[in-house]
């Protein structure tokens, strides 16, 4: 009974993670267009995420908050820092840079590639086995992602924004491996807080050293909204992978692009042709098959 309850809780966390990511595809697309520089929106979004997670931590742990912070093993601190730099630093920066020239749907679909790349990284670094069918589905996903981007049957270059998003997605691959090594040893909320803290520091230093003319205090309500949903997204993700594992969590994550596509159509009046819609569903179905087969 306890095992079933644990499983159900993990699924609910994963579905929350999927829904929040779907919403972020639109929120971040709108927000990125309200700033002259994507570094400002990136920094503010991650910083607000850190504040929201910290407030949640204080409520969640209450009197044991300081004890949980002090209880982080020094051996894990390097991994937590790397999770922050890769997942809430480099990934977020490249995502927002790309969103100004791409769609939120493409950014959300990139999560499917992250799932595949995470499995490949696990194959290389954690010695997890991958079948030939997995590699076939991975190729199908890459081809389908291409058609979602270009929207027609012809060879052409991807948009610069699409390429930036894909580069950013690659950084999350390594962050997921690091998170997998950390999440079973410390509370998922603490990992989430550390991720946003070190992500904020990285983005702040990047802005100070490479974007000297940028006004870091330019504010839009969209960065606050983005930070709120990223806080929910990451906390839910870390709890989900702890309770039901990375495979099932990322399987349910495949639903997110559908949310983003619907919201882009309703709110941003973004239109998609039949090829793009079909290719998007090919990506989602292939991703689900990939994780199911990997589970077997």
Which pLDDT score is estimated for 196? 96
Q: Of 28, 52, 40, 29, which Cα lies nearest the Cα of 206?
A: 40
Cβ atoms < 10 Å from Cβ of 68: 16
- Rounded CA separation 149/5 (Å): 40
Q: Specify which of 23-37, 46-60, 205-219, 240-254 reaches the highest per-range mean pLDDT.
A: 46-60
User: What's the whole-model pTM score?
Assistant: 0.80
CA geometry: angle 28, 53, 11, nearest 5 deg: 80
Cβ atoms < 10 Å from Cβ of 158: 16
Of the listed ranges 62-66, 99-103, 202-206, 258-262, the least confidently predicted one is 99-103
Which pLDDT score is estimated for 3? 63
- Return all residues near 67 (Cβ < 8 A) that are at least 6 apart: 61
- Rounded CA separation 256/56 (Å): 24
Mean per-residue pLDDT for 252-272? 79
For 142, half-sphere exposure in the C-beta direction (CA atoms, 13 angstrom radius) is: 10
- Rounded CA separation 282/86 (Å): 28
- Rounded CA separation 250/118 (Å): 10
Cβ atoms < 10 Å from Cβ of 247: 18
Q: How many residues does the chain have?
A: 296
């Amino acid at each position: 009974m306890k095992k079933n309850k644990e499983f159900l809780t993990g699924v609910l966390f994963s579905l929350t993670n999927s829904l929040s990511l779907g919403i972020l595809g639109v929120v971040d697309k709108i927000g990125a267009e309200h700033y002259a520089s994507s570094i400002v929106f990136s920094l503010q979004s991650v910083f607000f995420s850190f504040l929201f997670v910290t407030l949640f931590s204080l409520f969640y742990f209450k009197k044991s908050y300081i004890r949980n912070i002090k209880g982080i093993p020094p051996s894990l601190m390097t991994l937590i820092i790397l999770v922050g730099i890769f997942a809430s630093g480099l990934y977020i920066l490249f995502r927002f840079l790309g969103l100004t020239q791409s769609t939120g749907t493409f950014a959300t679909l990139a999560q499917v590639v992250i799932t595949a790349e995470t499995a490949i990284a696990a194959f290389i670094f954690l010695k997890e086995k991958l079948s030939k069918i997995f590699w076939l589905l991975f190729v199908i996903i890459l081809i389908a992602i291409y058609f979602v981007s270009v929207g027609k049957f012809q060879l052409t270059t991807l948009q610069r924004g699409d390429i930036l998003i894909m580069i950013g997605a690659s950084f999350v691959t390594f962050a997921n491996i690091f998170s997998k090594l950390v999440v079973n040893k410390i509370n998922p909320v603490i990992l989430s807080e550390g991720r946003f803290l070190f992500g904020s520091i990285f983005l702040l230093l990047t802005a100070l050293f490479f974007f000297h003319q940028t006004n870091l205090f330019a504010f839009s309500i969209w960065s606050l909204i983005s930070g709120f949903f990223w806080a929910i997204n990451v906390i839910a993700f870390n709890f989900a992978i702890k309770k039901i594992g990375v495979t099932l969590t990322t399987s349910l994550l495949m639903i997110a692009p559908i949310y983003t596509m619907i919201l882009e159509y309703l709110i941003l009046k973004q239109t998609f042709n039949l090829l793009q819609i079909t290719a998007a569903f090919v990506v989602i179905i292939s991703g689900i098959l990939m994780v199911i087969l990997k589970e077997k």
